[in-house]
Chain A
Amino acid sequence: MSTTEAVVQTHLDEHGDHGHEQSFLRKYIFSTDHKTIAKQFLFMSLFFLLVGGILATMMRWQLGFPSQPMPGAGGFPDTMAPGGIILPEFYNSLVTMHGTIMIFFAIMPLLVGLFGNLLIPLQIGAPDMAFPRLNMASFWLAVPAGLLMLASFFVEGGAAGAGWTSYAPLSASGEWTGVYLGQQLWLLSLTILGFSSLAGAVNYITTVISLRAPGMTWFRLPLTTWALFITAILVLLAIPILTGALIMLLFDQTIGTGFFRPEVGGEPILWQHLFWFFGHPEVYILILPAMGITSDVLANRARKPIFGYHAMVLAIISIGFLGWIVWGHHMFQSGMNPLLGTSFMISTMAIAVPSAIKTFNWLGTLHRGDIHFDTPMLHALAFVSMFIIGGLSGIFMANTPVDIYIHDTYFIVAHIHYVLFGGSLFAIFAGITFWFPKMFGRMMHEGVGKVHFFLTFILYNLVFFPMHNLGLEGMMRRIYDPNEYEYLQPLQPLNTFISVAVFCLITVQVLFAGNFIWSIFRGRKAGSNPWKSNTLEWSVPSPPPHGNFDGMPTVYRGPYEYSHPDAADDHWPQHLPPPRGGASEPHPAPAPSLAPEGVAP
């Protein structure tokens, strides 16, 4: 028995899943199966996506119809919306909680929690994660964190209202906002969530390094796994910075320390350095997995190898590195030394290079392809086209002098939504629709999926593209009522238009929710490989059994051998042995080895 099989055997024994029935609690609630945990993250994050969307709707109500009673808000407590009129402090809470919930409880757990859990073991040919119980703990830490965050809406003083970035000293004392407990719960919740993310990251890194199937060399990893691997390293290094800062701020709030409060010798700008030192890698945590998913879907649906696989991997790695030295571009106008501004501008411009490489390589992948426009592909293409806009608008803000004017205006609101909604969220839709059959054994409805895509794509652009123009007109972000400024009053029709588009955009998501739930029970049965994909997850039944693989798969080639002239079909799965004495290997396979990097199991 080789070492690899020994490890697999240990795992299976540990799970004790050889024909034994598991209790409901062990199987669905406190499961250690990575696929179940992935689904738990999926349901939790979709719930928070909905919450975040509702918060956005309320915000847009105020901006579209300033100080008019919001329909359906009659029952809101007087501390939020007396008579349905959203109060400025509640608006600030909406702004803060929309950002926090979307970033930390929707997009991040979808990309990292869902796809990391679902895909890493399956794509590398492992029976499960390296530490299944730690994996379970990761999810069950995220749940109380989410509940605390939601609970903060209902405490005295309301939810945190200092923005998702919680700049001190506004966030450091309730004296400035009237929010005491809400801000503290915000800090506590994110601290707990940090431990959840760390547990996940340690797991992903260990799993990718030590549990790859024989023949799965580093440069045969699918790009999604590559991206998730680098993401996990970013999480591992970035989250502790945030946690440290959160605890310092919590101490400022509760026991009167003065890390960020100048009246007792603290430094407000220190918070910004710590927050963005975490925050910029976080931005890449939110986009790298999306890039990976897009690459996998594009190559598959264009039936063509990914263009410049090695360059793609190197781009992911260099984004991972450069992501650490650009945090200051959030702080050009903060009072930081202007000389630092120049250095951060140059490093920021440098990070545009790997991003551009990826974009060009996606275009190269489509060139001379055989493009199938299924729902996942449409979402992946939306990612590419929207990421181009988000990337290009980033250049304006990376440029320090131009940033003077557009900093903290709606231009940045447009930019972040082009990256996080146009980018990450479309990639998430692509990923969910693509791997839905693997998760639930059934296909999602294609017609409804397409209608959902086109409506979302159009409405999304109607919402966010004009925000660039609002920013160029000088409309600041996070203002409750722009009409207070005379020069912004002519923008009201545009703001109302955007709000109506948001309401439609949110409504249209009913199609996705309906399709999702309907398809779980009634969707067309999917075989093991409905997309004719090469990667290992499609070599097992849908959904895969506990332990994933029947024995240990062996990998013979890279993940993107589509339309290979020597292959019978237009795809050539990684695990299929080459025909005896037949075609030459595109990449000669080294001897199967469990731990190519010398990691002893």
Chain B
Amino acid sequence: MEHLSWLLPESFSTFGQEIDRLYYVILWITGIVFVLTEGLLVLFLFRYRHREGGKAEHSHGNTTLEMLWTAGTAVLVLGLAVASTSVWHHVKRNVPEGALEVIVTAKQFEWTVTYPGADGLVGTDDDFNQRNTLNAPTARPILIHLRSEDVIHSFFIPEMRVKQDALPGRSIRVWFEATEPGEYVIGCAELCGLGHYRMQGRLTVHATDAYQDWLEGAMAEAAQ
């Protein structure tokens, strides 16, 4: 059976690799712990299985050993937590300067993307909308003001390692910077009603200069 891989699909955003690296660190650590603990379990089950006339050792524990593995676990997991805070803050809090801005509005069951018009600013009169299609350049961060008109949706671009719930009544900032031109999928990851499974959009990443061409074309089309 294929697709039983524990590798992540390739990522195409700048912070994607940082997230993937953390994943692989955890995969290694948990993998080793898994093999050790399950291995010991199986070993003990075999080694100490009941035999005729056998008797168990009467022991209530070993305080030193218990202290050791308690401290070991604590150091390991808390270390992991501390090591990942910077990536988390990078992804969720520190929006880079000079990002291109759009508004994405979720509703049952579509994503409406609002692009800035000629003035380059969103939230002004010359904005134009596209349904289910987000366009972005490479090598420039894109900042999305994520909103919802009805219920909670979750804006998920697997290959960009982006996921953020869209909340009605709020505007949440989401950003990413794509590294490769291409077509990517936008999905909805939060149950939002009967069409949840069909709430699909497309992300088109253009090469940096091709993006400007696309933008001008789209603006001209919207102005008609």
Contact = CB atoms under 8 A, between A and B. Distances in A.
Direct A–B touching, Cβ under 8 Å: yes
Interface of A: 87-89, 92, 95, 161-163, 167, 169-170, 176-178, 262-263, 267-269, 302-309, 311, 333-335, 338-339, 341-342, 345-346, 349-350, 352-353, 356-357, 359-361, 363-364, 366-373, 381, 384-385, 388-389, 392-393, 395-396, 398-402, 404-405, 407-409, 466, 468-470, 472-474, 476-482, 484-487, 490-491, 493-494, 497, 560-565, 570, 586
The 9 closest A-B pairs by CB, nearest first: A262-B169, A308-B61, A474-B158, A338-B92, A479-B197, A368-B57, A370-B56, A304-B56, A349-B77
B60 A405 contact: no
Contacts of A388: 33-34, 37-38, 41
Interface string B181-193: 0000101111111
A396 B3 contact: no
Q: How would you classify the secondary structure of chain A's contact residues: helix, strand, loop or mixed?
A: helix
10 contacts: A176-B151, A304-B58, A345-B84, A357-B73, A370-B55, A371-B49, A395-B30, A405-B8, A466-B1, A474-B156
A405 B154 contact: no
Nearest to A271: B152
Contacts of B131: none
B55 A303 contact: yes
Given A364-B65, A366-B48, A399-B26, A565 B58 contact: yes
Nearest to A482: B197
A542 B69 CA distance: 41
Interface string B1-35: 11111111100000000110011001101100110
Contacts of B150: 169, 176
A92 B87 CA distance: 35
A392 B33 contact: yes
Contact of B189 (A89, A398, A476): A476
B168 A263 contact: yes
B127 to A, nearest CB: 23
Interface residues of B, number: 89
A396 B23 contact: yes
A170 B193 contact: yes
Contacts of A408: 154, 156, 163, 189-190
A161 B7 CA distance: 33
Contacts of B91: 401, 404
Contacts of B27: 396
A371 B50 contact: yes
Nearest to A465: B4
B197 A480 contact: yes
A369 B194 contact: no
Given A335-B164, A385-B38, A473-B9, A357 B69 contact: yes
Contacts of A333: 154, 163-165
Interface of B: 1-9, 18-19, 22-23, 26-27, 29-30, 33-34, 37-38, 40-41, 44-45, 48-51, 54-63, 65-66, 69-70, 73-74, 77-78, 80-82, 84-85, 87-89, 91-93, 108, 150-152, 154, 156, 158, 161-165, 167-170, 172, 185, 187-198, 200
Contacts, number: 294
Contacts of A468: 6
A267 B168 CA distance: 9
B69 A167 contact: no
A484 B197 contact: yes
A384 B69 CA distance: 17
Contact of B58 (A89, A393, A563): A563
Contacts of A478: 191, 196
A163 to B, nearest CB: 5
A70 B53 CA distance: 56
Given A304-B57, A484-B197, A472 B5 contact: yes
A98 to B, nearest CB: 13
Contacts of B8: 405, 472
A311 B87 CA distance: 35
Contacts of B70: 311, 353, 356-357
Given A95-B191, A349-B80, A487 B158 contact: yes
Contacts of B185: 485-487
Contacts of A88: 194-197
A378 to B, nearest CB: 10
A476 B60 contact: no
B49 A342 contact: no
